[in-house]
Amino acid sequence: MNRKKFITSLSVASVGATVLNPLSFAKTSLFDEPPVIKPHKLKSGDKLAIVAPGSYISEEELQDSIKNLNQLGFETTYSEKVLLQSGYFAGSDKDRTEDLMEKFSDKNVKGIVCARGGYGCSRILPMLDYNVIRANPKVLVGYSDVTALLYGIYQKSGLISFHGPVGTSSFNDYSVDNFKRVLMNPEQSGLFKNSESGEDENVYGVTSIVNGKGKGRFVGGNLSIMVSLIGTEYDVDYSGRIIFIEEVGEEPYRVDRMLTQLIQAGKFDHAAGVMMGIFRKCEVKEKSDLTAKSFNLMEVLKDRFGSLKIPVVYGMSFGHVKDKFTIPFGALAELDAGKQTFTLLEKAVN
């Protein structure tokens, strides 16, 4: 932080703490962000590296990842570290960090695809070399636990990365089309509509909780990971941003608890909009003690978001589902909650 700005902040706090805007103070102390950097776009024949920065993967999952990326027209590469196992991790924190940094440094690698999520990405955030990442901007794509990497890399280097398929995802026509539209054939402005294939169960359909339009840069990802980063140096400012959220396997009271933490932390106070994916397997479990009295998921979402004065929509095509958008973390977009669409207002790759 600029020394003069820091001293000024302390002076204001000392003489007028009751009128100081907490958000503005947080923005100068915790949320200083580097300029946004866009990675180079992908093209057919490019070499993509497969990494496992969180949970370990099997040989079968590695081969599935190779097959999926080859069918998209890419060459693939990986190191022996990708199949390491240490407890529930893909090798030690050091192993996973070195593997990811090697791929960012390798000039022959044009993009990086996480084979899966799981757990472990947040543990390596302090070990990444963000100067190297900034100097070697390339596509990084994944979702779920990979949310931690999207946050950390954007906050520390400014690089736009992508919430999209992992190597073992279902690369169906819808997901492939969205992947290519964002990463290979980007448009200066592109409208994105939800899938109508019926491939993914969505008991609530696409639901507009608060109608309206909002414009801002996309930030977000998996709800559990978003909450876990509050108070860390890897968290990002939600002010003026469109927050996208996905989750899997959490009962309504747990979703309630996590959203309440975000609300009480002031994360939505100055946001531009909220776009939720399909929260898969997030209803009350059949044998739960809460079954008879629990709110359902939609009741929780309407209760927590219904009073916000920004557009909020649920059930968009992303998350732990087959039909996926590829969402650029850090790119400028407009959300239309009433029409249940979003528009990228800039290319997310160069």
246 is catalytic: yes
First to last CA, the chain: 29
Residue 323's nearest CA partner among 223, 198, 221, 206 is 198
User: Of all helices (H) and strands (E), which one includes residue 262?
Assistant: helix 252-264
Catalytic residue among 61, 246, 247, 334: 246
Residues 183 and 349: their CA atoms lie apart, in Å, by: 7
Amino acid identity at 201: E
Q: How many Å is the Cα radius of gyration of the chain?
A: 20
Q: Which two tokens stand for residue 60?
A: 């079968």
Catalytic residue among 65, 122, 144, 224: 144
Q: Directed axis angle between helix 3-16 and helix 22-29, to 10°?
A: 150
144 is catalytic: yes
Catalytic residue among 55, 195, 317, 320: 320
Residue ranges of the alpha helices (H) in 17-83? 22-29, 59-71
Residue 160's nearest CA partner among 99, 74, 213, 236 is 236
DSSP track, 120-184: -GGGGGGGS-HHHHHHS--EEEE-GGGHHHHHHHHHHH-B-EEE---TTS---HHHHHHHHHHHT
208 is catalytic: no
Q: Which two tokens stand for residue 181?
A: 């539209």
How far is the CA of 190 from the CAs of 105, 185, 324, 329, 343, in angstroms?
31, 11, 16, 16, 5
DSSP E strands, the chain:
47-51, 75-77, 111-114, 139-142, 161-163, 190-193, 207-210, 213-222, 241-246, 273-276, 312-314, 327-329, 332-336, 341-344
Determine contact, residues 188/347, Cβ cutoff 8 Å.
Answer: yes
Active site positions, annotated: 144, 246, 320
